Amino acid sequence: MRIVAEHLSYTYNPRSPFETAALKDVSLTIEEGEFFGIIGHTGSGKSTFVQHLNGLLRLPSSMKKYRPKKPKKGQTLPPKTVLTVGEFDLTDKKTDFRALRRSVGMVFQYPEYQLFAETVAEDVAFGLKNFSETKLSEEETAAAVRAALEVVGLDYEEMKDKSPFDLSGGQKRRVAIAGVIVTRPEVLVLDEPAAGLDPLGKREIMELLHKLHREWCRTVIIVSHDMDEISENCTRAAVFSEGTVRYVLPPRELFCHAQELTAMGLDVPLTAKLVSLLHERGIDIECDFTAADFCEKVLAYAAAHPKKERDEGGEA
């Protein structure tokens, strides 16, 4: 499903002292099959944007009132807001939001805090039961739950009767993700999927997301403020800052804007920092900013140049 947003704006608590414009005229297209990253500082509007994608935040229905058909003299019409996810037109009130939510899975920040059922199997089946039109048989449910738990790397037989509250943090998060993907959404959106995990847990979650992207969901969108996470994993990334989209680029091109990113309060990935340090010392390395590629290129450089020249750069 292709996601198209044009001139999307959103204001929290309009016309009150708490009024904050979270999105200002955002235009963004996400192609089907992408592993898309959304980066931004806290409060940059990235979470607000993704909550639109499955209709949890709706465009103000009174929007037409503020959009006169004909422009007054000397005024131009504000551009029309467009928001479509595949077949669904989200600016239309009559859109079937249940069907939309079924196709767009949403994993919130710290998803383990939404677990509630008595057993893991029941919790994972929650979404499945909600979305299915007909009543599913026990076997069908069990099969779907088993598949979802296994794809997130948990053992169905061992897990199904446990209480979700007895699991470890990483396991809980996996169960929560299983509870979202169990309906096989076409688009999977994850808000800070690796927040609060240790480095190993982070890597495991990212590997899981790649696996899901290959086998389970056509499009994966992750929201993060960690540049390394984005640069290592995404095909393209959008940088949000103060409610607007600054850049939409593949990660390797993105980090040519290192200074602007730093000014927005974002970090550049470690590899990009090393590349620029090496550049200062006269060693030019071109890489796509993933750790593996960086190491490879450095080693290749080291092999191609005699020892004397690489006294400073080699050990990286």
Partner 1 sequence: MKDVSFGQFYPVNSFVHRLDPRLKIVFLIAYIVAIFLATNFYELAACALVLLLIVFFARIPIGKVLRAVRGVTFLVLFTTALNLLFYKGDTVYWEWGIFCVSFEGIIFSVFLALRLVLLVVCSSMLTYTTTPVSLTDGVESLLTPLKWIRIPVHALALVMSIALRMIPVLMDETSRIKNAQMARGADFESGNIIKRVKATIPILVPLLLSALRRADELGDAMDARCYTGGDHRTKYKKLRFTWRDLVAFLLGAALIAGVVLMRIYLPASY
Between 190 and 194, CB nearer to partner 1: 190
Residues lying near partner 1 in the complex (CB under 8 A) are found at 12-13, 17, 51, 54, 56, 98, 101-102, 105-106, 108, 111, 113-117, 126-127, 130-131, 165, 179-180, 183
**In the complex, least distance from residue 11 CB atom to partner 1, rounded to whole angstroms:** 12
Helix axes 138-151 and 120-131, enclosed angle (nearest 10): 110
What is the CB neighbour count within 10 angstroms for residue 174?
Answer: 25
Closest CA to 241 of 51, 10, 41: 41
**In the complex, least distance from residue 286 CB atom to partner 1, rounded to whole angstroms:** 41
**In the complex, least distance from residue 156 CB atom to partner 1, rounded to whole angstroms:** 19
Say if residue 5 is exposed, middle or buried (CB neighbours under 10 Å; 0-12, 13-18, 19+). buried
In contact, 42 and 225? CB cutoff 8 Å: yes
Between 98 and 279, CB nearer to partner 1: 98
**In the complex, least distance from residue 115 CB atom to partner 1, rounded to whole angstroms:** 7
Closest CA to 263 of 243, 236, 241: 241
- Give the three-state DSSP class for 67: coil
The strand pairing partners of 3, in sequence order, are 30, 85
In contact, 45 and 240? CB cutoff 8 Å: yes
Structure tokens, 74: 């000397």
Between 88 and 108, CB nearer to partner 1: 108
| Number of Cα atoms under 13 Å in the Cβ half of residue 12 | 11
**In the complex, least distance from residue 288 CB atom to partner 1, rounded to whole angstroms:** 33
In contact, 281 and 311? CB cutoff 8 Å: no
**In the complex, least distance from residue 183 CB atom to partner 1, rounded to whole angstroms:** 8
**In the complex, least distance from residue 59 CB atom to partner 1, rounded to whole angstroms:** 16
* Residue 6 to residue 154: CA distance in whole angstroms: 40
Between 115 and 278, CB nearer to partner 1: 115
